[in-house]
Amino acid sequence: MPHRILVVDAHAINRLVIAEQLTALGHAPMCAHDAEQALALFDAGDFDLCVVACRMPGIDGFAFAARVHDLAMARGTAPCPIVGYSNDAALDTALAMQTGMRACMPMPIPSSTLDAVLRSVFHPSARAPRNIAQAELFIATSRKDLREARRCLADGNLVRLRALFHRIKGAALMLGENDLAAACTRGEAGCDDWGPAALDAAIDLIEMQLDAMDPAQVEPSR
């Protein structure tokens, strides 16, 4: 059964080309010309995945991804996977990770790259080996976020603490680190209940899983 995929791009030619690629790969694309139209389509129906331009007028792809994740959190549902693309994917990958995108593809998108990314989303067990550069960036930024998270916990700043858990979770989902993302979800729930012990345990668990990704790490940072 074909997957329903929403394509979001301000440029009509880009939408047409990507939709044709998705159709050739056996999927069922639908197009939106901006983020606001895409959000309206999300309210009207379910999508299996969204492919979005990172750079668009108005609400860009990064802000769109963050809104989709926030809406899913408010509704208590799993967020629709989002894959971005950019004329400067090397520059935009870090921000894509922080906003919860699963990948950031270069433009123009080779059909082989699009197919591989979609397979990694729909069939996680068959995903390609971890991108070392992305993993190292994720580990470094997440450790920095965790140090701030511990300060927020000590200060009782739950709003910022929740935002940090959410940011780490989005990047973890992009890399396919589902167990780590689940630990972040546990931390977000702890912010609702204001359980200091549970929050501290969630931070410890995230740090342990980061250590498992990083063999060079000797002891957790405090």
What would the mean pLDDT of 32-36 be, rounded to a whole number?
96
Q: Would you say 52 and 64 are in contact if contact means Cβ atoms under 8 Å apart? A: yes
Class of domain 4-126: alpha beta
User: For residue 61, how many other CB atoms are within 10 A of its CB?
Assistant: 29
Cut 0.85: pTM above it: no
Q: Quickly state the pLDDT bin for 130 (edges 50, 70, 90).
A: low
Nearest-angstrom CA–CA distance, 178 and 152: 24
What is the layout of strands, in order, in the sheet containing 4-8? 28-32, 4-8, 49-53, 82-86, 103-106
Q: Beta-strand (E) ranges in 21-108?
A: 28-32, 49-53, 82-86, 103-106
> How do residues 57-87 score in pLDDT, each as one tens digit?
999 999 999 888 888 777 777 788 999 999 9
**Mean pLDDT for the chain overall:** 85
Lowest mean pLDDT: which of 1-10, 32-41, 107-116, 118-127? 118-127
Are 33 and 52 in contact, with CB atoms under 8 Å apart? no
Higher pLDDT, 136 or 124: 136
> Tens digits of per-residue pLDDT, 170-222?
788 777 777 787 788 778 878 877 778 888 888 998 988 888 887 555 444 44
The CA distance from 103 to 52, in Å, is: 11
The residue that leads in pLDDT, 35 or 97, is 35
Calculate what percentage of the chain has a pLDDT beyond 70. Answer: 93
What CATH code would you report for 132-213?
1.20.120.160
Instruction: Give the integer Cα–Cα distance in Å for 65 and 76.
Output: 16
What is the per-residue burial (b if ≥16 Cβ within 10 Å, else e) of 185-220?
Answer: bbbbebbeeeeeeebbebbebbbebbbebbeeeeee
pLDDT attached to residue 181? 79
Q: Where are the domains of the chain?
A: 4-126, 132-213
